Amino acid sequence: MQVIPIEKTNEKLFLNFLNRDMILHVFTIYDLKHMRDKTRVWVALKDAEICGYMLEFDERIVHTHGTVESVTKLLHCIDLDELIFIIEPHHLTVVKEFFKPVEPTDPSSKSQVTTYLVMKANADAFKPLIRHQVKSWKSKILMGFRNILEKNGKNALITQFEEALPLGHMKRMR
């Protein structure tokens, strides 16, 4: 596996990779297009294919995407001592080998990693990359789902948050 800065790779190839799932990579796409001067990106390549990347924004926020193996290699590129991570849930174990949580992003989650699910889209921009079997929901199913949410709304929301992107203020372990 090879890890290289975006400037030393085919940037068009990387942007095509991001555009395959614009929702997942929304922050990276936005930062590269509108705040390039505050953005650093490293790409992990395996057999000339992108298997992961890491974005550093404003010398304080780091996003990771890709395989655990690629993130393990990418984390060596960080030269920050204290930062805010936005990671995929399966990256948390690897990140904790390099950094430790020092402060939650929300006071109510003290001593925990704070999680968020971020999604905003309109009908024109929403083109999801479907990785699972899709079924059409009939109004009867939707009403049943509504009833479940009304009865168990808090638990349903907690489950969604637990499956979202962990984000927390981390400090490099010495």
For 28-54, write each residue's pLDDT tens digit: 988 998 899 999 999 999 998 999 999
CA distance 61 to 47: 29
Lowest-confidence pick of 1-10, 61-70, 89-98: 89-98
* CATH, residue 100: 3.40.630
Judge residue 166's burial from the number of C-beta atoms within 10 Å of its C-beta, 0-12 exposed, 13-18 middle, 19 or more buried. buried
Domain enclosing residue 166, as ranges: 2-123+160-172
Q: What is the pLDDT of residue 155?
A: 62
Specify if 154 maps to a domain: no
Specify if 52 maps to a domain: yes
Specify if 143 maps to a domain: no
CA distance 156 to 122: 24
For 2-38, write each residue's pLDDT tens digit: 999 998 877 888 999 998 888 888 889 889 988 999 9
Specify if 131 maps to a domain: no
Gap between the terminal Cα atoms of the chain: 26
Q: What is the pLDDT of residue 44?
A: 95
CA distance 54 to 88: 11
CA distance 134 to 151: 26
